[in-house]
Homo-oligomer: A and B are copies of this chain.
Amino acid sequence: MKFSKATDYALHYMLYLAATGSDKPIGVVQLAEKQGVSPTYLSKILTKLVKAGLIESASGANGGYSLKRKQEEISFLDVIHAIEGTASLFECGLKHGPGCLVQQVMVEAEERMEQYLRDQKISVLAEQYSAAQAK
């Protein structure tokens, strides 16, 4: 039970995009070199974000990925769900009727975490990130 590296990459990429604030798309290789990550694998991850509607892709020369308009609304949870999926973290595989107590507790615990992640907006973090970079 661990968050995948893909989520790690995706969050950092989103944070970078928001912090840069440029309208111009940013290529994959540029970020990959900066973070020491495989460019092609990062591309695969960003495809998921595009399908989730969080970012846009532009092909051709000077292409790359850029944030969509409503970036202020994008939360950590949005990114995580786009990568990890929206399925519940815990699925009771036993057969003892529908009302599994264990399941209820785990879902509630998950909800606590998700609620916090929902409140964490990428844009807010980006400001702190920019401030840290500037000094």
**Is A128 engaged at the interface, CB distance under 8 Å to the other chain?**
yes
Which positions 97-130 of chain A face chain B at CB distance < 8 Å?
Answer: 99, 101-102, 105-106, 108-110, 112-113, 115-117, 120, 125, 128-129
- Residue of A1, A89, A93, A105 ringed by the most chain B CB atoms within 10 A: A1
- Find out whether the CB atom of B106 lies under 8 angstroms from the CB atom of A3: yes
A35 interface residue (CB < 8 Å to B): yes
Copies in the complex: 2
B-facing residues in A72-108 (Cβ within 8 Å)? 76, 80, 84, 87, 89-96, 99, 101-102, 105-106, 108
Q: Could you give 5 example pairs across A and B, Cβ below 8 Å?
A: A1-B84, A2-B91, A5-B93, A12-B92, A112-B112
- Residues of A at under 8 Å CB distance from B? 1-5, 7-8, 11-12, 15, 35-37, 76, 80, 84, 87, 89-96, 99, 101-102, 105-106, 108-110, 112-113, 115-117, 120, 125, 128-129, 132
